[in-house]
Amino acid sequence: MKNPNGVELPAYAKINLYLDVTAREENGYHKIESVMQRVSLCDRVAVSVSREPGRSIFVRCNLPYVPRDARNIAYRAAELFMDAAGVCGSVRITLGKRIPVAGGMAGGSTDAAAVLRALNRLFGYPFGRARLTELACALGSDVPFCLRGGTAVCTGFGEIMSGVRSRTRLCLLIVTGGENVSTPWAFEMLDRYYQNFDARASGPVRLERLTAALCAGDAARAAESMYNVFDPAIFPHRPRAARAKELLLENGALGALMSGSGPTVFGVFPDTGTRFRAGAALLSEGFTVREAYTL
């Protein structure tokens, strides 16, 4: 039977098919230009509410090392939603995590977006799409995209989005090798590697080529046009991630990149058979692989 006080939603991960830095601000923030893409790999987010006076938020998670208090962005999403809607009650959030944690796939951000959607439904839709997006923006720069999904060109600090009508379903292998990357460290490496960001490192044509290929349904051309400014800055420090990219390309990937600031690496394959064989090669070197496709 349906529970009117509870809802369970998939919270999809993202990859960056393209990621460039266009400027570094005085305050150290980086302006980016990115093509964000929702993928089928997802966490499961269950949210239930019991109407009672006062407010309490409880988070449970299948991974013991993910924080369950206000350090968890899903917790903060619930807090923000209840503040904005002026509602009270007890909220229980259960996170079934499958997206690699701290892997550059917006795992936390997508959980937060799912909590916003779930609470909006459970409290009778107090917010429309625009207000929900404002709340998402306040939680983090990847959260609005996670709320929206699909394919989008993101600029500014990632919060300005313009949809791309992609007709391409990319066949993906997502690879992790046990290394970590913290986002602030990755940006430090980026600043050191590029010195400054007076010009786009990739050149202006490549992004347009990628979006045109996606709209035309041309997976090979899309894969060939993918780009990530972080790749050369991070790979020298993360040899497992570098090896994953090498193995993907040696085993038939049309293209391979880190997602976001890494260290998760993904490959785009021409078909599922080639992907399967590449997966076996990566497994034999101790990598964790996940099959996925773009949504």
Binders of ligand ATP among residues 112 to 131 (CB under 6 A) are: none
Give all strands of the β-sheet with 171-176 in edge-to-edge order.
255-258, 265-269, 171-176, 288-293
144 counts as binding ligand ATP under rule CB under 6 A: no
Q: CB of residue 183 vs ligand ATP: minimum separation in angstroms?
A: 5
Taking CB under 6 A as the criterion, which residues in 160-219 touch ligand ATP?
Answer: 183
Active site residue 245: no
Listed ranges 1-9, 96-104, 209-217, 218-226: which one lies at the site for ligand ATP (CB under 6 A)? 96-104
Residue 83's SS3 state is: helix
Work out which of 35, 47, 66, 152 binds ligand ATP, going by CB under 6 A: 66
Binding residues for ligand ATP restricted to 260-279, rule: CB under 6 A: 260
> How many Å apart are CA 255 and CA 244, to the nearest integer?
12
Q: Which stretch binds ligand ATP (CB under 6 A): 71-79, 212-220, 234-242, 266-274?
A: 71-79
Strands (E), the chain: 6-24, 30-50, 55-61, 89-96, 151-155, 160-163, 171-176, 227-228, 255-258, 265-269, 288-293
Furthest CA-CA distance within the chain:
60
Q: Which of 74, 116, 242, 254 binds ligand ATP (CB under 6 A)?
A: 74
User: Exactly one of 89, 104, 263, 279 binds ligand ATP (CB under 6 A); which one?
Assistant: 104
The answer to whether the beta carbons of residues 192 and 184 sit under 8 Å apart is no
**Looking up tokens 């983090």, which residue turns up?**
140
142 a catalytic residue: yes
106 forms part of the interface with ligand ATP (CB under 6 A): yes
End-to-end CA distance of the chain: 29
For the packed helices 73-85 and 107-122, what is the interaxial angle rounded to 10 degrees?
A: 30
Q: Which of 97, 111, 142, 245 is catalytic?
A: 142
- Where on the chain is the footprint of ligand ATP (CB under 6 A)? 66-67, 71-74, 95, 101-109, 111, 142, 183, 260
Catalytic residues: 14, 142
